[in-house]
Structure formats: structure tokens, C-alpha cells
Structure 1
């Protein structure tokens, strides 16, 4: 009976290890497609940003991977409020980097729906609008271009936001839109403005989308498959020794 239970346990562990390796290969295919999209989409001509007709009553089902990093254009007006996403900007595309904030503003489209727009980076000591001359968004109806980004809800290790100061540590669309009183419907994605949208005063510094990825899935897959092979090898040696002893 013990041998049977041991055999079942070994077989179960082997199946799990093979399954984990196969899952990592599937993740590898997905990650490589995302990396290719991130390399190609930002340079493509802008297309209209998807509206409620495309995400409708089920925003959670919006196919974000089909749109992520795609350059889009939208027409509307900026709301006169802003929130701040804390970031340590390393290797900036523009002249400024280090600790600071991404300035997030609701953009109300001419069709009546709202998207959260990242206008760009400001240093940590420039959060007060008075320290940023000529940094206000253009008034009235304008057309802007940017890259679509996914929602970024907080994890269990994300610091709690300072809602009084409108400082956030995750680009959580729902929480930020609520704190800013953004009118609905709210798009299930965000827009990072491209560098050309930087105001004449230089702040916020647009064009700072982080398009970098780690891709360790092949290594993980080989690790799981290696463990599966090792399990078979150890089990085979143990069985051979048992039989050799008679």
C-alpha cells in the first residue's frame, strides 16, 4: 500500500512539474508577442482611441493586450484637476529624472466618456503648480496623442495612497478617477502622452512610458522540466536498487 501511495505521489509531482514547465512556455510566447508589440506599436500612426462601443458594459473584458502601447489620438478637454503617481524615474527619455511624480489628469472626450491621461513626469519638488510655470494643460477642446496603458491596481505591498494630497503609488484607474471626481463612463485603460505633448515650459515631461520587460520564462520552464527529469531519475535509481536487493 505504501509503495502504491508513493508511486501515486511521484506521478502526481511529475505531472505538476511538467504542467508548470508547459505553462512557462505559454507565458514565454505571450511575453515575446508583447515585447514585439511594444517595439512596433508606438512608432505606428495614431488610431482613434477605443470608446464605449468597444468596451461597453464589460470594461473588464476589454482586450487590453490587443491595444497595449498602441498610439492613439483622442479629442476632448482636460479636467482642471490632477493626481500624482510617485515614481523613481531612471534612464528618462527627457532631461529630468529621479524621484518624482507622473501627473494624471482626467480627459473628457468630445463623445462624453473619460480617460485617465498621464501628462508626464515632474520632479518631486515641483508638485505645487506654482513651481511649474506654463505647465497647465491647454484649455478648451484639443486633440492629443499617447500610448495606451493597462490598469495598474495596487498589490498587498503597495503603500496606501494619500488621497488628501492626491498622491498614489499605483496607477489604479478606479481609485484615481474617484479621487478626482472624474465623470463617467471611465475607459478601462490609461493614456501616456507622447513626448511631443510636453508643454513649452518643459513640465510635465511627456514621453516617459516605461516599455521594458523581464523575460525569464524560458529559464523557468527549463527549471521545471529539469526538476521533472531529476524526479524521474531519482525514482528510477531507487526502483533499480530495490530490485537489485531482491
Structure 2
């Protein structure tokens, strides 16, 4: 009889170990989503403060590696490099697919070139890429220095098009310098002020094509809910198993 009791408890114990392990995994995913939500809330608050104050730093600040993941307002004069533009693929605006257009900018006060986001252009159904007009002469630019858009899991090399422009699925300045025939590129990009009369439709959104904090919070609630459901299911199955065992013993 003692051996039979042990054999009945063993499957129950294994079931609870599995349930707790799965619930712990769901809780870890929920905690990660909460962390992402908090990080993005803090980032948006910082960007809002920068945009309120708009105290311009020189364009050379884009090359400060210690600030590569933060945001600053910046302004200065210089010229756009002749040659290729960079088209960042898979960029949606108002539900329409398109590309974000970048050109390297050479600051007049020295320092490495930096990529300037000129704005968004739509793609036709046949995925014909837009023609990016050159911007000769000297220009004064101003905008938000920001980390490049997150590449996610994609690390493909940029593809040169027939007109010489580069089509990229991830904006990685260090990898784009050589194809653009530049000695280097600053780690941050300049999101051009929408009020300036050059470029294409654009905004200063720092979370384009990514999840806002509210979505991360919603996913966190779902993961925690799944963890609770796993534990509740394990509890119900355990009670049913014990009830069935008692009935068998009574019979």
C-alpha cells in the first residue's frame, strides 16, 4: 500500500514541477515586458524634455560614443556628401509601406560625417524605389540626435541599387561608412527638424515601427495571466486526481 501511495504522488509532484517551471518562464517574460515598458516611458520623457528645451549642441556631439544611446538637440552648418543616399526599408507611415531616406552630412566645424534623416517616401506596389534628389551647397540643419532605429534580429548588408543608392534593412552607421566611401560615420543620426524646408514628410517620433510602452504593458499582463492560468490548471488537476484516488480507495 505504501508503494502504491508513492506511485500516486510521483506523477503529481512531476506535474507541479513542470507547472511551476512553465509559470516561472511566463513570469520572466512578463517581467521583461514590464522592463521594456519602463525603459521606453523613461526614454519618451527624456525626449519630451529635450524637445521642450531645444538647447542645441554642435553636430560634433553625434560622435560622442558615451552618449550613443541618448538624445540631444543639435544644430550646425555643413554640406551633404555627394553620392549615395541610404534608404531604410520596411518603414510604415499611416499604414503605407515605404522607406526612410538618409544622407551623410559633413559638418562645417569638423568631426565625422553623420547620417541625416530627410524623411519618409512611399513605395509603389512594384516596390520601385523613390529617386532621392541631391542637396548641393551649404545647409544649416537642426534636429534630434538619436540612436539609429533598432535593427532587431536583422543584420543583412546594404544592397546597392542601379542608381548607386543603398537599400538597407538595418541602419548601422559603422557598416555603412565603407559603402558610402566615407572614413567613418557618427554612431548617432540626426532626425531633421520637420520645420526645415528640405527633405520629405517626417516627424520626431523615436519609436517608429516599434511597440509603445502600452503594448509592452499589455503583453506583460498576458504573460502573468498565462502563469496564473498554468498554476490554476495544475491545482484543479491535482484536486481531481486526489478525488478520484479517494473514490477508488473507498470502493
Q: Same fold (TM over 0.5)?
A: yes
Contact preservation (8 Å) 2:50, 2:73 = yes
Report deviation, 1:80: 2.1
Counterpart residue number, 1:168: 167
Assess, with a 3 A threshold, how the Cα gap between structure 1 residues 44 and 230 changes in structure 2: closer, same or farther: same
Once residues 179 and 192 of structure 1 are traced to their aligned partners in structure 2, the CA distance between those partners, rounded to angstroms, is 21
- Match of 2:26? 17
Normalising by structure 2, we get a TM-score of 0.70
Q: CA deviation at 1:145?
A: 1.0
- CA deviations 1:109-134 (Å, max 9, x no partner) are 523322112234567786264xxxxx
Matched, 1:7 2:16: yes
Provide the TM-score with structure 1 as the length reference.
0.72
Unpaired runs of 5+ residues, structure 1, are 56-60, 92-96, 130-134
> In structure 2, how many angstroms separate the alpha carbons of the residues matched to 1:154 and 1:225?
24
Please, which runs of 5 or more residues in structure 2 have no aligned partner? 1-9, 124-128, 247-251
The structure with more radius of gyration: 2
Match of 2:147 among 150, 171, 177: 150
Tell me, what secondary structure is at the counterpart of 2:183? coil
Structure 1 Cα separation of the partners of residues 45 and 100 of structure 2: 28
Label 1:206 to 1:176 Cα distance change in 2 as closer, same or farther (>3 A): farther
Of the three residues 47, 51, 55, the one matched with 1:42 is: 51
**Pair 1:228–1:62, CA change in 2 (3 A):** same
Deviates more, 1:41-50 or 1:206-215: 206-215
Q: CA deviation at 1:76?
A: 3.9
**Alpha-carbon distance between aligned partners in 2 of 1:192 and 1:136, rounded to the nearest angstrom:** 16
Change (3 A) 1:31 1:154: closer
1:205 maps to 2:216:
no
- The alpha-carbon distance between structure 1 residues 63 and 187, as it changes in their structure 2 partners (threshold 3 A), is closer
Tell me the distance in 2 between the aligned counterparts of 1:31 and 1:10: 32
Conservation of the 8 A alpha-carbon contact between 2:68 and 2:147: no
How far apart, in 2, do the equivalents of 1:45 and 1:128 lie? 29
RMSD of aligned Cα (Å): 3.4
Give the match for residue 6 of structure 2.
Answer: none
Q: Deviations over 1:117-163 (max 9, x none)?
A: 2234567786264xxxxx62433xx5421112322447449795225
